[in-house]
Structures are given as C-alpha cells and as structure tokens.
Amino acid sequence: MTSINLQNINPKTGKELIIQNPNILGGKPCLKNTRLSVELIMENLASGRTEEELCYSYPTLTKEGIKAVILYVKSLEENHPLKILLEEYYAISS
C-alpha cells in the first residue's frame, strides 16, 4: 500500500472541504456535503483501507475528500489525537 498523493489538491480547497457545524455529527469536523467525519475516514485509512475501498463503501466520499482529510489532519497541532491515526496510516502505507 502506498500513501495517497497530496500534490493534486490545492491546500486552500482542501481546508474548505472540511466543516464543523454543531448540527452535524455533534460538531465533529467532517467533509462538506457528507455526514462522514474526519475521524471515521482517518480510522479507516489507519486500518489499511485504500482510497478505492473507502469511495466504494461511502459513495458520497471522493478521492479529493480523502486528500482534504489528510491535509486537514496534517495541519492540526502535534498532540491532537487525530495525528496518531495519521502516523498509523503513514506507517502502513510506506
């Protein structure tokens, strides 16, 4: 498994795809126009699921959305719990 190429997404666009709304998933960060949380996507990636598997399992999810999630998590502070999932994803994808 190789890590997802982040070069094809504009970082600004990526951040615009992540929203937080108290009326959606209790305010958890999620992908715009979906009910998919950043945490759910990162848990799936950290467990070894591929982009293709995720997009198949969640039809509202796109490869661009997955890239946006990774960019969002990369931008979080170092001690944020989602960073652990990102490290796990990098460990299995390298």
pLDDT in tens, 7-31: 665 655 567 899 999 999 999 999 9
Given this model, what pLDDT does residue 16 score? 85
Residue with the larger pLDDT of the pair 30 and 2: 30
Looking at the 3D structure of the chain, how many domains does it have?
1
Q: Is residue 44 included in any domain, yes or no?
A: yes
**Structural domain for 53, as ranges:** 11-93
Residue 74 lies in a domain: yes
**Do residues 89 and 38 touch, judged by C-beta distance below 8 A?**
no
Tell me, yes or no, whether 3 lies in a domain: no
Residue keyed to tokens 């796990």: 88
- Is 64 part of a structural domain of the chain? yes
State how far the Cα of 82 lies from the Cα of 61, in Å rounded to an integer.
19
